[in-house]
Structure 1
Amino acid sequence: MLRERAHDAREAMEAEYARRREDLGVRIERGRLVFDQRIRKRQREARQKFSEYVAAIRPMNVVTAPVIYSVIIAFVTLDLFVTLYMWICFPVYGIPRVRRRDHIVVDRHMLPYLNWVQKFNCVYCSYGNGVLAYAREVAARTEAYWCPIKHARRWEGAHEYYHDFMDYGDTCDFVERWAESRNRITEGRDAMRPIVVGRRKD
């Protein structure tokens, strides 16, 4: 199944990521990635001089910066409203809550080879993309509960639950399969497990 292949691909990526961390001299202490002192020293030496960094900034980057950073208003608002929605509604539907910390990860600012501007930008990008990933997961679980039907045309934005949705226009065992989709979400099963759908009535 597509989900099984996607799961295998993610496992392979995680294994490759772990191997590359070892090659970079990274170890895990209390759930945090830590570099050896020798590696940290080498990273600090690799830091670009701030004067060189500023000199390389294009004028248009400075002009557009306020527009980029103004989107923080949308990110914070989305974060707040999605969290409120989930905490209020998910218990009513019986849908397991999404762990926010699994999606909003802010840690790149701790890298010694980044200057303070780069660290600030990394925090901003991490938060923004994390909020979008968090909101997407909340929305995906909601869709799997309320409307598990595929679109008529190919959709590039498919989330991990989408492949188990019912085909567009397929009425076979419609009510039963809709109930199955809700059960998969409310029972909190691993999203990567194979799904057994209703038997076709030809």
Structure 2
Amino acid sequence: MSSKTQEIVSRIRDLEVELEKQINLEKERLNQRIAKGGHEFDRDMLRFQKSLRVGIFRYLKRAQILNILTAPFIYALIFPFIFLDLSVTIYQAVCFRAYKIDRVRRSDYLIFDRQKLPYLNLIEKINCTYCSYANGVIAYVREVAARTEQYWCPIKHARRRQGAHARYRLFEEYGDGDNYRSGLAEHRDALNHDQKTE
């Protein structure tokens, strides 16, 4: 990777840190404070948020019929998600050990805290839990796949790739066989020393 590319990657990292700081400032404006299991709201904010909750019957009465009719299709995907989650967990337990790649911590990706929000009713809490699981599994699988790609084929595609994972920008350029051969060991070694090469 050229020094100019490394400089840009470094600036992106700095911007991500700045963004995280800004998000934390905005959270403080919501009177949140960090607690042991996540976020807790002060009493006044908690009372206000509970007042925003829509009861289940009113929620269902307001729901669009298409949302109700398509819900079984959404929830039927729970089985493939569970299978994917289990399969990838077994895969990385076996293969990442063999390749000496730091394993992806599943708990960093599957986060269940939105169901604690006082303004959500039971249906919304179930929906949020499902979405947390489904998107968490996809993010977890994506990181496992990204580390696998970094180990086996850290080469960019010839065409621009939409939605590339964060590791991708560090890969070797398409057609740059010399740097691919000389850099492969470095890419692999990086997987043994950090949890995220972003």
TM-score (norm: length of structure 1): 0.90
- Once residues 81 and 141 of structure 1 are traced to their aligned partners in structure 2, the CA distance between those partners, rounded to angstroms, is 16
For residues 94 and 26 of structure 1, the distance between their equivalents in structure 2, rounded to whole angstroms, comes to 40
Quote the offset at 1:144 in angstroms. 0.2
Equivalent-residue separation in structure 2 for 1:34 and 1:103 (angstroms):
21
Whether 2:87 is the aligned partner of 1:81: answer yes
Partner of 1:3: 9
List gaps (5 residues or longer) in structure 1. Answer: 193-202
Measured in 2, the distance between the counterparts of 1:80 and 1:116 equals 27
Deviations 1:38-85 (A, max 9, x none): 111110011123332111111111111110000001111111001001
Q: Deviations over 1:146-172 (max 9, x none)?
A: 001111100013111111111111122
Change (3 A) 1:78 1:189: closer
1:106 aligns with 2:112: yes
- Tell me the TM-score normalised to structure 2 length: 0.92
Q: CA deviation at 1:30?
A: 2.0
Paired with 2:97 and 2:64, the residues of 1 have a C-alpha distance of: 49
Q: Secondary structure at the match of 2:191?
A: helix
Regions of 4+ moved over 4 Å:
none
Percent identity of paired positions between Structure 1 and Structure 2: 44
Residue of structure 2 equivalent to 1:154: 160
The question of 1:38 aligning with 2:44 is answered: yes
* Separation (CA, whole Å) in 2 of partners of 1:164 and 1:25: 39
Please say if residues 115 and 125 of structure 2, whose CA atoms lie closer than 8 Å, have aligned partners that are also in contact. yes
Hey, what's the Cα distance between the residues in 2 that align with 1:102 and 1:170?
Answer: 34
Deviation by residue 1:77-108 (Cα, 9 ceiling, x = unmatched): 11100100111111110100111111111100
Asked if 1:191 corresponds to 2:197, the answer is yes
2:171 equivalent to 1:169: no
For residue 118 of structure 1, what is the aligned residue in structure 2?
124
Residues in 1 aligned to 2:195 and 2:186: alpha-carbon distance in whole angstroms: 12
Is the CA contact 1:25–1:36 (under 8 Å) kept in the aligned structure 2? Answer: yes
Given that 1:93 and 1:186 are in contact with CA atoms closer than 8 Å, whether structure 2 keeps it comes out as no
Aligned counterparts of 1:130 and 1:2: Cα–Cα separation in 2: 28
Tell me whether 1:178 sits opposite 2:184 in the alignment.
Answer: yes
Q: What is the aligned counterpart of 2:74 among 68, 90, 108?
A: 68
Residue type at the aligned position of 2:17:
E
